[in-house]
Amino acid sequence: MVKIKDIAERCGVSIASVSKALHGTSDLNPNTAEYIRNVAKEMGYVPNASARLLKTNRSYNIGVLFVDSTSSGLEHEYFSSILNSIKNESENHGYDITFISHHFGNNQAGGHLTFYEHAKYRNVDGVIIASVDFKDPEVIQLVESDIPTVTIDYLFDGKSSVVSDNIQGVREIVNYLVDCGHKRIAFITGEDTSVTRNRVTSFYRTCDERGIKVREDYVKRGKYHVPKESGIATRELLSLDEKPTVIMYPDDYSLLGGVTEIEKRGMSIPDDISIVGYDGIKLSRLVRPEITTFVQNSTEIGIQAARKLIEIIEHPKSSYAESIPIQGKLQIGKTVKKIN
Amino acid sequence: MVKIKDIAERCGVSIASVSKALHGTSDLNPNTAEYIRNVAKEMGYVPNASARLLKTNRSYNIGVLFVDSTSSGLEHEYFSSILNSIKNESENHGYDITFISHHFGNNQAGGHLTFYEHAKYRNVDGVIIASVDFKDPEVIQLVESDIPTVTIDYLFDGKSSVVSDNIQGVREIVNYLVDCGHKRIAFITGEDTSVTRNRVTSFYRTCDERGIKVREDYVKRGKYHVPKESGIATRELLSLDEKPTVIMYPDDYSLLGGVTEIEKRGMSIPDDISIVGYDGIKLSRLVRPEITTFVQNSTEIGIQAARKLIEIIEHPKSSYAESIPIQGKLQIGKTVKKIN
DNA sequence: TTGTATGCGTTATCAT
DNA sequence: ATGATAACGCATACAA
């Protein structure tokens, strides 16, 4: 590789001058600077990020913590979409991204690494955390460390985060359902996370506002992205004496699990039962019938997370911790029947 | 951060000894070595990858080139699944992965970077290339550079690659269709890529073997992952005087685009027309009716790509260029009617 | 305006 | 068995 020294020799100047010329800054003769830059370009010079990092302590590398080795984090469209968005936004700011994970086996860092250690090992300037167990001590260690962090869909006190507005989401869904004449509304939730709690609270609150009495046996705990689980919950709901007229699912995948179950019983959607999803995966408009669902703005979430983190990295003094809410949008499909 | 020097001082030994102890190797007194390692651990020492890289010229970082800023590469399940697999396998070998991309704007590297330059900038040990325009001069520059590369689903002469066996895939599909009694088989392809060419060739060959005459107007060019395109092609096929009895789609997403069109015409699947997808996205079993499709083994593709690249990186002399084929599996759903 | 020199954290060579 | 030291490529304080 061609390095600064090579350019210096070729130009007959010192390496300091080359460095200065390359940075544009400093008080170098504009002509020499220009000349040096041309030669550098001609020689195909590419800076060495590691060497630079060693001096400046800035890697221009953002860590992304996206679930542990359960290996499937990237396969959830909501998260892969956020990741993609983070990647694009970061790159536009000159940052690359590195996945933070546990390292096992014979790695150069000496075996197992905690998330924090991994982040240190790679010298990331900051890390965006999403889709993990936020109670994990390792996650907490990372968040409380000296490394700037931004969390997605979870709040740590005094730290910045970007959160999809689940309260709004469920409110809009429930309001829409009630407007359609539904009163017997069932809700299959995901695991007990803060996201879930927000949704459930919003569910109760909105029902309350609309004068709907929530039946406890209409609220079932399921799991995010596990169609089988929602299938089971669906079966239970459909076995009740007084069936709900509509079922809200924790996500669009789970909804499809429910569909299987519903059709198994010979019921048809939305005539016999209405269903609503969450997330707004791309397929939601493609699948028949089109899914009524709440579309989370994953692109915006990724953009905001990247921007906020970069702000913290580049202006640590003037940047304050904040939680950035991202609004979604109700997508009306054909799985909810108007019954009024 | 605690560094080697700190450990040395604490232990009252030289930094050289600490380095040796940490590497296990060399002829250090086992007791001192053990002692040093304990202290290091106690002090929470984490090596600095960049400093190490500077000396060793090994980053333990693998570049992944996954489509340019068209921004949606990660959202195709086939590719996000491969990526996830690459990530896991790489991490198990002590490697991290870095996305290779164009960098725009005010980055530290000085604006726009070619893929090769980016790879150099980040000192990646090698790069895995997938889902790009393989004719792109920048891609070619990268492949022909000194950086080890492994391509996915594309072959460069003298270079290693991992390819999903599209010939087998289409052969199995066609054979299955013929076994089901179909003779009027239509095929909507993707864009003209080597993958597509393999599939088309396999289509003609297998039909030939089975004594099926391929009608030219049954073979239509569409686009991968663009349901609208396949919808148009579907409409054209269904307008023919002699309609096909089955339509093969370039991928499962596209198939869904076809479904929309088919249902629009009041036809039902598979009674009026049979359809087959490709890829085997997770939803293929969830969607009703279950999709008959060819499941590509994306996990294995990722694993093999990572392994091969690491082999090249670690044993450049003894590793030869090879193209590793990955077999898939026909998944029989309910979208193909038996008509014999 | 330009050049010299030092150090970032690490590895590795060569002495001791 | 252990230590002193140079070097990796770069940025920068300071000298000229």
Give the closest nucleotide to B4 (alpha carbon vs C1').
Answer: C9
pLDDT given for residue B205 in this prediction: 98
According to DSSP, residue B279 is labeled B
Long-range contacts of B103-106 (CB under 8 A, 24+ apart): B103/A91, B103/A94, B104/A91, B104/A92, B105/A92, B105/A93, B105/A94, B106/A93, B106/A94
Is A46–B283 a contact, with Cβ atoms under 8 angstroms apart? no
Grade residue B69 by pLDDT with cuts at 50, 70 and 90: very low
Nearest-CB residue to B54 (from A51, A84, A288):
A51
CA distance A242 to A340: 18
Q: State the sign of the Cα–Cα–Cα–Cα dihedral A219, A222, A228, A232.
A: negative
* Burial of A157: CB neighbours in 10 Å, binned 0-12, 13-18, 19+: exposed
CA distance A184 to A237: 11
Least confident of B32-41, B63-72, B210-219: B63-72
pLDDT given for residue A289 in this prediction: 87
For A111-149, the pLDDT digits (tens) are: 788 999 999 999 999 999 998 889 999 999 999 999 999
Residue listed under structure tokens 């560094």: B3
pLDDT given for residue A151 in this prediction: 98
Mean pLDDT, chain A, as a whole number? 93
Nearest-CB residue to A104 (from B71, B92, B96):
B92
Neighboring chain A residues of B105 at a CB cutoff of 8 Å? 92-94
How many contacts, defined by CB atoms under 8 Å, are there between A and B? 181
Nearest residue of B to residue A22, measured between CA atoms: B110
Cα separations in angstroms, B62 against A98, A275, B93, B319: 10, 44, 11, 17
Residue A9 contacts residue A25 (beta carbons within 8 Å): no
The residue that leads in pLDDT, B163 or B27, is B163
**Domains detected in chain B:** 4-47 (1.10.260.40), 61-164+299-327 (3.40.50.2300), 166-296 (3.40.50.2300)
End-to-end CA distance of chain B: 73
Is B99–A107 a contact, with Cβ atoms under 8 angstroms apart? no
The residue that leads in pLDDT, B224 or B76, is B224
Grade residue B131 by pLDDT with cuts at 50, 70 and 90: confident
pLDDT given for residue A70 in this prediction: 47
Is A22–B110 a contact, with Cβ atoms under 8 angstroms apart? yes
For B291-326, the pLDDT digits (tens) are: 999 999 999 999 999 999 999 999 998 999 999 999
Residue A60 contacts residue A97 (beta carbons within 8 Å): no
Nearest residue of B to residue A63, measured between CA atoms: B98
| Backbone torsions φ then ψ of A183, nearest 5 degrees | -125, -30
| pLDDT of B67 above 80 | no
For B234-279, the pLDDT digits (tens) are: 999 999 999 999 999 999 999 999 999 999 999 999 999 999 999 9
DSSP, collapsed to helix, strand or coil, labels residue B330 as strand
| pLDDT of B60 above 90 | yes
Percent of chain B residues topping a pLDDT of 90: 85
Nearest residue of A to residue B257, measured between CA atoms: A286
Laid out side by side, the sheet with B160-164 consists of A323-326, A160-164, A149-152, A126-130, A61-66, A96-100, B96-99, B61-66, B126-130, B149-152, B160-164, B323-326
Residues of chain A whose pLDDT is less than 50?
68-71
Mean pLDDT, chain B, as a whole number? 93
Helix (H) or strand (E) holding A164: strand A160-164
Is A69–B88 a contact, with Cβ atoms under 8 angstroms apart? yes
Give me B159's structure tokens. Answer: 């270079």
Grade residue B146 by pLDDT with cuts at 50, 70 and 90: very high
Å separating the CA of residue A269 from the C1' of nucleotide C8: 65
CA distance B298 to B153: 11
Å separating the CA of residue A50 from the C1' of nucleotide C7: 15
Grade residue B106 by pLDDT with cuts at 50, 70 and 90: low
CA distance B337 to A278: 33
For B75-93, the pLDDT digits (tens) are: 788 988 999 999 999 999 9
Give me B231's structure tokens. Answer: 């919808």
* Burial of A268: CB neighbours in 10 Å, binned 0-12, 13-18, 19+: exposed
Å separating the CA of residue B22 from the C1' of nucleotide C12: 14
Neighboring chain A residues of B46 at a CB cutoff of 8 Å? 109, 113, 117, 120-121
Mutate to test the interface with B, among A2, A23, A48 (most CBs of B within 10 A): A48
Least confident of B16-30, B96-110, B224-238, B260-274: B96-110
pLDDT given for residue B103 in this prediction: 73
Least confident of B19-28, B123-132, B218-227: B19-28
Residue A87 C-beta-side C-alpha neighbours within 13 Å: 26
CA distance A172 to A170: 5
Q: Which residue is nearest to nucleotide D5 (CA to C1')?
A: B16
Residue listed under structure tokens 């990955």: B326
Q: Is the pTM value of this prediction over 0.85?
A: yes
pLDDT given for residue A98 in this prediction: 94
Grade residue B28 by pLDDT with cuts at 50, 70 and 90: confident
Nearest-CB residue to B108 (from A60, A80, A253):
A60
Q: Give every CB contact of residue B23 below 8 A, 6+ residues apart in sequence.
A: none
CA distance B283 to B287: 6
CA distance B28 to B236: 77
CA distance B119 to B107: 15
| pLDDT of B1 above 90 | no
Q: CB B128: neighbour CB atoms within 10 A? A: 28
